[in-house]
Amino acid sequence: VTGGHPTLLAAAGVRIVRRRRLPAAGDVLVAVGERVAPDRIVARARPPGAMVPVNVAYELDIAPSEVPDAVVVPLGAEVARGAPLARTAGLWGLLRSYCYAPVTGVVRDVSASSGQVVIEATVPAVELTALIAGTVIGVEPGRGVDVCGRATLVQGVLGVGGEVSGRLVAAVARPEDLLSAELIGPELGGCVVLGGASITGAALHRAREIGVAAVITGGIDDTDLTDHLGRELNVAVTGQEDVRPAVVVTGGFGRVGQDPHAFDLLRRRAGELASVRAATRIRAGAERPEVIVSESDPTDGPADSALASGIDGDIRAGGDGGLSLGRRVRIVAAPFRGRIGQVVELSQRPHAFAEVGTLPAVVVALPGEQRAIVPRANVELLAGSSGGAGSADEADEADASGAQDVPPSARRPREEV
């Protein structure tokens, strides 16, 4: 989070705005004021394909100047992947060599100076869903829409697998429970599964087998995630992984209990359709994964203009005061890693931590009269409300429109064509 203290949001009944944008120019299929469901296609694009040069002169071992005569597909015509693109004169087909098109596309250029043929690759259409139930409050012609609606929103710290949706099911009873393989039955296929403090490797394997859409877990062991992804996750930029279930981690690596508040919010919405954005960008323009359960029948009108223009609500920014007395926080580094408590003291003077030096500190009251003195950098604000009138100290509006939404189908293809 640029500027403010790192904050995770968990709130019900919040008005949220989602900025939905195509990765390339296309058509917007809805109008301002229109009501949309989470799975409604709101925009569609057929992005221009990459220009793919084929070195025909080299492939056929001919001079560049001979290339125009060797090309068998007219300029502007389509050629299928693997079909002949050019051929040498040969001797009635004997000793004739061919150059085949590496991609399906349209021949855009034939160069007699470099001996290359350029094909504009054909790309499948990209479709963008509304992600949340609500009202279209803005349209950027050709690019996308802004959708506003009320929802339960829970943010995580790391997500892999991109966007997915499914029926929300709580597979464990308590936020500190372990999600084991026995708890994952075939009825969870296609569902968004709410877990507890960790998920076992076997449970993840089972979830994959039966086609679970997404798993929400407090913690996960690195070896299990590595196994799931088929590679080590070395840089915290995610969302492009081609894996199911998608995984949203709300606490961190290891065994970390879910925030009971967030856990309860989601559990209350069990049985409903949940949208999961399992994407993370920790560097500039921080983006955290999120679970959204839209309110099926929002009674409110469109959001006000401040929200629509993308100004952060208090909840997202962690309030103006950021880290302040009384705030709920999660400690995110040893020795109290994962513990949740309340800020009771913000010492003006840095605290001398044995072994690690003198650092600005915060005192956190933990359940059971325990108090922890930890570096300020090692706490994360937990912001949110439980919905309903006057139920929380923060405003009940949030806007996470800063993150540009990318639909699963718009994910950058492995080979960009």
Partner 1 sequence: VSGDERLYVVVDCGSTTTKALLIGRRGERFRALARSEAPTTVEAPQEDVTVGVRSALAELERRAGFPLVPWPDGVAPSEPAVAAGGRATLLATSSAAGGLQMTVVGLVRGLTLASGERAALGAGALVGELVAFNDPDSPLERIARLRRSQPDAVLLCGGTDGGKTPQVLALAELIAAADLRSRHATREPVPVIYAGNATLRDAVATVFSDREPPLFVANVRPELERENLAPTRDRIHEVFLHNVMTQAPGYAALQQRCAAPPLPTPAAFASALELLVGEEDAEVLAVDVGGATTDVYTAGPAGVHRSVSANLGLSFSVGNVCQAAGWERIARWLTVPIADEELRNAIRNKMIRPTTVPATASDLQIEQAVVREALRLALDHHVATRPDLRGLRPAEPATARLGRSAPAPRIDWRRIGLVVGSGGPLAHAPQPVQAGLMLIDGLRPRGITSLAMDEQFLFPHLGVLATVDREAARQVLFADSLVPLGVVAAPLTDRGGRDGTELFSYVLRPRDRDGGVRRGEVRRGELVALPLATGERAQLELRPSGPRDLGAGTGVEVQALVLGGPVGVLLDGRDPDLGWPRPRLSWREDLKRWQAAVGVEREVDA
Applying CB under 8 A, the residues found at the interface with partner 1 are 2-4, 6, 50-55, 64, 102-103, 111, 113-114, 116, 118, 121, 157-158, 221-223, 225, 232-237, 249, 252-254, 280, 282-285, 310-312, 332-335, 337, 353-357, 359, 374-375, 377-378, 380, 402, 412, 415-417
Is beta strand 328-331 parallel, antiparallel or unpaired with respect to 340-345? antiparallel
Q: How far is the CB of 208 from partner 1 (least distance, A)?
A: 20
Smallest distance from partner 1 to CB 331, Å: 9
* Residue 221 backbone zone (phi > 0: left; psi -120 to 50: alpha; other: beta): beta
Q: How far is CA 119 from CA 46, 54, 99, 226, 297, in A?
A: 16, 8, 13, 38, 49
Give the tokens for residue 340.
């949740």
Min separation Cβ 244 and partner 1, Å = 21
CB of 194 vs partner 1, minimal distance in Å: 20
64 vs 56: CA distance, rounded Å: 8
Q: 105 vs 408, which CB is nearer to partner 1?
A: 105
Min dist. Cβ of residue 385 to partner 1 (A): 21
CA distance 127 to 20: 11
E strand or H helix that includes residue 228: helix 222-229
Rounded least distance, CB 88 to partner 1, Å: 20
Q: Which is nearer to partner 1, 261 or 316 (CB)?
A: 316
For residue 201, the minimal CB distance to partner 1 (Å) is 11
Least separation in angstroms between CB 28 and partner 1: 18
Report helix, strand or coil for 391. Answer: coil
Amino acid (1-letter code) at residue 327: R
> Can you tell me the distance from the alpha carbon of 211 to that of 150, in angstroms, rounded to the nearest whole number?
29
Reduced to 3 states (helix: H, G, I; strand: E, B; else coil), residue 238 is strand
CA atoms within 13 A on the CB side of 128: 29
What is the distance between the alpha carbons of residues 124 and 103, in angstroms, rounded to a whole number?
13
Cβ neighbours of residue 252 under 8 Å, at least 6 residues apart? 157, 158, 219, 332, 337, 338
Give me the phi and psi of 334, to 5 degrees please: -60, 155
Residue 67 is given by DSSP the state H
Nearer to partner 1, 128 or 249 (CB): 249
Minimal distance, residue 335 CB to partner 1, in Å: 5
Instruction: Report how far residue 270's alpha carbon sits from residue 290's, in angstroms, rounded to the nearest whole number.
Output: 16
Q: How many CB atoms lie within 10 A of CB 56?
A: 24
**C-alpha closest to that of 316 among 2, 3, 5, 7:** 7
- For partner 1, give the closer residue by CB, 58 or 97: 58
Give the Cβ contact number of residue 267 at 10 Å: 18
Output 136 or 417, the one with its CB closest to partner 1.
417
Residue 337 Cβ vs partner 1, minimum distance, rounded to whole Å: 7
Q: Give the type of residue at 182.
A: E
Nearest residue (CB) to partner 1, 12 versus 315: 315
Which residue lies nearer to partner 1 by CB, 282 or 392?
Answer: 282
Element (H, E) at 221: none
CB of 78 or CB of 221, closer to partner 1: 221
**Residue number with CB closer to partner 1 (55 or 342):** 55
- Nearer CB in complex with partner 1: 39/304: 304
Residue 342 CA, chain-centre distance (Å), reads 29
**Measured between alpha carbons, how far is residue 196 from residues 22, 23, 152, 201, 341 in Å?**
35, 35, 18, 14, 18
Cβ proximity to partner 1, 94 vs 356, nearer residue: 356
CB 258 → partner 1: shortest distance, Å? 16
